[in-house]
Amino acid sequence: MITRTKYNPKEIEQKWQTRWEAEQLYHAPDDSPKPKFYHLVMLPYTSGDLHMGHWYNYSGFDAYGRFMRMHGYNVMQPIGFDAFGLPAENAAIKRGIQAYTWTMANVDKMRRQLRMMGAGWDWDREIVSCLPDYYKWTQWLFLQFYKHGLAYRTKAPANWCPSCNTTLANEQVLANGTCERCGSTVIRKEIDQWLLKITNYAEELLDFSKIEWPEKTVTMQRNWIGRSEGAEIRFFAEIDGKREEIPVFTTRPDTIYGVTFFVLAPEHPWVEKITTPEHKAEVDAYVDEARHMTEIERMSTEKDKTGVFTGGYVTNPVSGEQVPVWIADYVLMGYGSGAIMGVPGHDQRDFEFARKFGIPIRQVIRPEGEAPSDPATWPEAKEALGVMVNSGQFDGTPADKAIATVTRYIEEKGIGKFMVTYRLRDWLISRQRYWGAPIPIVYCPKDGTVPVPEDQLPVWLPEHVEFKPTGESPLRYEPEFLNTTCPICGGPATREVDTLDTFIDSSWYFLRYADPHNSQQAWSKEAMERWLPVDQYVGGAEHAVLHLLYARFFVKALRDMGHLNFDEPFTRLYHQGTVLGPDGQKMSKSRGNVEAPDEYVEKYGADTVRCYMMFIGPFDQGGSFKAENLEGVWRFLNRFWSLVTDSWVENPTDEETGESTAIERLRNKTIKRVTEDLSNFRFNTALAALMECNNALIKQQNEPVARSTAFRQTLETMMQLLAPMAPHISEELWHLTGHAGGIHTTEWPVYDEALTHDETFTLVVQVNGKVRERIEVARDISEAEVRKLALSNPRVASFIGESTVQKVIYVPGRLVNVVVRNS
């Protein structure tokens, strides 16, 4: 028996958070006999505040982890911080404090907020990527890639932001060619860069057979890798009296007779060789202009096609024709060979180019069921496969054989070969910035590029540096960092001043969580065998391509180096939706629709905010945050609290009434609904089921059945079903109602399938197969009773009339058909 109290979230949430932590409730032991469940949420960036998006993400995520724990799993649910990166550095410059100080203050603040949610974090496994005990191993990983030829340095053009003074990845350049961070116009610049050979894994990265990921994400990764099959064909030209060959890749070797021009990237080494003196001035001017544009601008489909004729020609090795050579900025040096064959009749981009510059367009493919026509009348290129025409010896080759036939021919003639290409480029990992893991390389005047020996790691990142007004990396001006000795000859040497892209940090953090305190190794073999791969990964769809692709590449490369023995990092993946502002728009400071969770936690408590976040809409879709709707969830928790505390004021009388069977059915039905919903991340409908159950019980609160054991049992079950979503209130009620031990380690309630159906069902009555009546009957009704009921029903009887009943067919639980014969 208990006394009635009021629901006071402030008091109970604080109390339970402290107690759970003291009891290490959420510590996932390495030696548990239970099956492991590695439940991972994407590492938050140390921006300084947990916003609504974090709460939304973590509420559902945490509920699922608790649900799995109650199913008997040893759930590992770690958290850490993605603490390196440009925003920290920029904020530090703006505020005049050190990036380290700023970042660690944010970490402290976020830790407090993460605790406030009452989520089941295993704090013992926390990692902070900017601390030396983490980045030491980030550097060690770089050395492994270097040792295996997967990390290399080369001079290459890069997107360069003149104001941030750093290179940018393509995805950091906006569509209008400006810097994602500062809005300056991005230029192209040749600099020394470090890259990882992700392209070595292009083919394997296309294999998704071992993982269960959203189809959309898989498709995005496929497109990003961009595999295409085709042929490499070697055109040639006479240069300085010598025959020189220039290869091009095409997915359509069957259009080889349609080549009417040839295009080089402006940076192509052939440009200088092939340009005739009378075209030189125009070509030089064009090359210079292209240098000032980003790849994104150059490849934009909206942009008007530009180009200039070089005056030179190459020979088509199949047709023997002389083809004029142009340069155009839409051809990029880093993609393929930096040269393309122009087939304006059957490629839309080439079509537009030819139309603009008056280059002939020729039909060499006739689509099925179409007569040949004059290309001058075409509104666009005919890109579909078809029968080869105007193609010399290949005329009449059907669509399904054309590509293979031409490919075989060029292979036999030794003028080309079958080839697979990928859109995927090697991964640019060096940043001309301070706040990142230093690249463990030194440059010696005698020995050149020398990796730092593993036993000298970490290469310390100075915590206190001075930023120059030029915006350059301060590491260049830190003599203590810069100057060192060469590991080979012992002579003076300088350190690499570039730091690693933060995507490197997040490509392996899930491995470190499994063995976070290992000071001898990045991880032990045992830890990997115990915990990896991640069973369930939850995070935003905005990471569908890069982070997820990089992590997959890391795992595959490290497996091949002998450091891991599995193929994929994340077995199952779930993308949560986005919380929008009250106006249905993305929350942003400029729109003034940003809502911070803290004030609502202060007002209603974490359980209400958590449940509200889950109630907003389907977890993968998100929805608008509306403060007034928090009231509804708050009322639900209060009514549940009162119902439970009222029901335990007196002892149960244990009357076995008919109503108590109905309550039992309600209990089983609710278990079934909530179980199925939580298994599928449908938190909103799980909460709806609990609210309905709550309302149904409240209606009967003053009936005798409210004092039955069944009524109490239903309330106990509800506490357990609610526990993953509202962990504090359910724990408090569990204890108030006299249960020893915590609710979060109880076993998930099971249901009896038979009791999940209604006590009655609607019996459909047919006469000669036509529906004539519906009658509500008891579920366990016998066939004899059905027969009697059907035949005595006045409406049914009126349809039978004077006819003779031949037979009565009963389909249990559904319908009865009375078969009659007209007499």
567 counts as binding Zn ion under rule CB under 5 A: no
Using CB under 5 A as the binding criterion, the count of chain residues that bind Zn ion stands at: 13
* Local structure of 306: helix, strand or coil: coil
Count other C-beta atoms under 10 Å from residue 666's C-beta: 21
How far apart, in Å, are the Cα atoms of 814 and each of 152, 394, 650, 774? Answer: 71, 67, 43, 10
488 counts as binding Zn ion under rule CB under 5 A: yes
> Which one of the spans 159-167, 373-381, 562-570, 800-808 is the region binding Zn ion (CB under 5 A)?
159-167
Binding test (CB under 5 A) with Zn ion, winner from 384, 489, 771, 778: 489
Q: In 298-446, where do the E strands start and end?
A: 308-315, 322-327, 339-342, 365-367, 386-388, 416-422, 427-428, 430-431, 441-444
Side chain identity at 298, as an amino acid letter?
Answer: R
Q: Pick from 149, 728, 195: which is nearest to 504 by CA?
A: 195
Contacting residues for 540 by C-beta, under 8 A, at least 6 apart: 42, 53, 57, 575, 576, 578
Report how far residue 544's alpha carbon sits from residue 424's, in angstroms, rounded to the nearest whole number. Answer: 15
In the complex, the smallest distance separating the C-beta of residue 153 from Zn ion, rounded to whole angstroms, is 17
**DSSP state, residue 474:** G
Side chain identity at 746, as an amino acid letter?
Answer: T
> Which one of the spans 175-183, 476-484, 496-504, 615-623 is the region binding Zn ion (CB under 5 A)?
175-183
Nearer to Zn ion, 200 or 494 (CB): 494
Side chain identity at 423, as an amino acid letter?
Answer: R
> Which one of the spans 73-81, 182-190, 297-305, 469-477 is the region binding Zn ion (CB under 5 A)?
182-190
Binding test (CB under 5 A) with Zn ion, winner from 25, 91, 93, 182: 182
> Which one of the spans 106-114, 132-140, 428-436, 446-454 is the region binding Zn ion (CB under 5 A)?
446-454
Report how far residue 78's alpha carbon sits from residue 28's, in angstroms, rounded to the nearest whole number. Answer: 9
164 counts as binding Zn ion under rule CB under 5 A: yes
Nearer to Zn ion, 487 or 582 (CB): 487
Nearer to Zn ion, 485 or 745 (CB): 485
Report how far residue 199's alpha carbon sits from residue 215's, in angstroms, rounded to the nearest whole number. Answer: 23
In the complex, the smallest distance separating the C-beta of residue 178 from Zn ion, rounded to whole angstroms, is 8
> Which one of the spans 107-115, 156-164, 398-406, 798-806 is the region binding Zn ion (CB under 5 A)?
156-164
Contacting residues for 695 by C-beta, under 8 A, at least 6 apart: none
446 counts as binding Zn ion under rule CB under 5 A: yes
Nearer to Zn ion, 443 or 566 (CB): 443
> Which one of the spans 116-124, 451-459, 489-497, 670-678 is the region binding Zn ion (CB under 5 A)?
489-497
> Which one of the spans 48-56, 183-191, 385-393, 520-528 is the region binding Zn ion (CB under 5 A)?
183-191
Nearer to Zn ion, 166 or 766 (CB): 166
Q: Pick from 724, 770, 763: which is nearest to 743 by CA?
A: 724
Nearer to Zn ion, 177 or 724 (CB): 177
| Cβ–Cβ under 8 Å, residues 89 and 99 | yes
Report how far residue 177's alpha carbon sits from residue 302's, in angstroms, rounded to the nearest whole number. Answer: 13
Strand order of the β-sheet with 427-428 is 166-168, 151-161, 187-196, 427-428
Report how far residue 303's alpha carbon sits from residue 246's, in angstroms, rounded to the nearest whole number. Answer: 27
In the complex, the smallest distance separating the C-beta of residue 440 from Zn ion, rounded to whole angstroms, is 15
> Which one of the spans 209-217, 441-449, 459-467, 614-622 is the region binding Zn ion (CB under 5 A)?
441-449
In the complex, the smallest distance separating the C-beta of residue 174 from Zn ion, rounded to whole angstroms, is 10
In the complex, the smallest distance separating the C-beta of residue 743 from Zn ion, rounded to whole angstroms, is 51
In the complex, the smallest distance separating the C-beta of residue 488 from Zn ion, rounded to whole angstroms, is 4
In the complex, the smallest distance separating the C-beta of residue 453 from Zn ion, rounded to whole angstroms, is 13
In the complex, the smallest distance separating the C-beta of residue 130 from Zn ion, rounded to whole angstroms, is 22
* Local structure of 537: helix, strand or coil: strand
Nearer to Zn ion, 164 or 538 (CB): 164
Nearer to Zn ion, 469 or 738 (CB): 469
In the complex, the smallest distance separating the C-beta of residue 250 from Zn ion, rounded to whole angstroms, is 37
158 counts as binding Zn ion under rule CB under 5 A: no
86 counts as binding Zn ion under rule CB under 5 A: no
Q: Pick from 452, 454, 438: which is nearest to 501 by CA?
A: 438
Nearer to Zn ion, 89 or 254 (CB): 89
> Which one of the spans 169-177, 487-495, 538-546, 772-780 is the region binding Zn ion (CB under 5 A)?
487-495
In the complex, the smallest distance separating the C-beta of residue 165 from Zn ion, rounded to whole angstroms, is 8
Q: Binders of Zn ion among 447-486, rule CB under 5 A?
A: 447, 486
Nearer to Zn ion, 307 or 471 (CB): 471
Binding test (CB under 5 A) with Zn ion, winner from 444, 564, 613, 644: 444
How many CA atoms within 13 Å lie on the side-chain side of 647?
29
- Report how far apart the first and last C-alpha atoms of the chain are (Å, whole number): 71
| Cβ–Cβ under 8 Å, residues 447 and 486 | yes
Report how far residue 309's alpha carbon sits from residue 93's, in angstroms, rounded to the nearest whole number. Answer: 49
In the complex, the smallest distance separating the C-beta of residue 162 from Zn ion, rounded to whole angstroms, is 8
Q: Pick from 128, 57, 77, 212: which is nearest to 514 by CA?
A: 77
> Which one of the spans 184-192, 226-234, 431-439, 722-730 is the region binding Zn ion (CB under 5 A)?
184-192
Tokens of 502: 């933060």
Nearer to Zn ion, 91 or 404 (CB): 91
In the complex, the smallest distance separating the C-beta of residue 163 from Zn ion, rounded to whole angstroms, is 5
* Local structure of 770: helix, strand or coil: strand
161 counts as binding Zn ion under rule CB under 5 A: yes
222 counts as binding Zn ion under rule CB under 5 A: no
- Provide the pairing of β-strand 261-264 with 815-821: unpaired
In the complex, the smallest distance separating the C-beta of residue 186 from Zn ion, rounded to whole angstroms, is 7
**b/e sequence 306-316, b meaning 16+ C-beta within 10 Å:** bbbbbbbbbbb
| Cβ–Cβ under 8 Å, residues 718 and 640 | yes
In the complex, the smallest distance separating the C-beta of residue 266 from Zn ion, rounded to whole angstroms, is 25
Nearer to Zn ion, 113 or 166 (CB): 166
340 counts as binding Zn ion under rule CB under 5 A: no
Q: Pick from 77, 120, 99, 47: which is nearest to 731 by CA?
A: 120
Nearer to Zn ion, 444 or 689 (CB): 444
Nearer to Zn ion, 181 or 559 (CB): 181
| Cβ–Cβ under 8 Å, residues 52 and 597 | yes
Nearer to Zn ion, 163 or 456 (CB): 163
Report how far residue 814's alpha carbon sits from residue 761's, in angstroms, rounded to the nearest whole number. Answer: 8
Contacting residues for 281 by C-beta, under 8 A, at least 6 apart: none
* CA dihedral of residues 337, 339, 341, 347 (deg, nearest 10): 90
Chain contacts with Zn ion (rule: CB under 5 A): 161, 163-164, 179, 181-182, 184, 444, 446-447, 486, 488-489
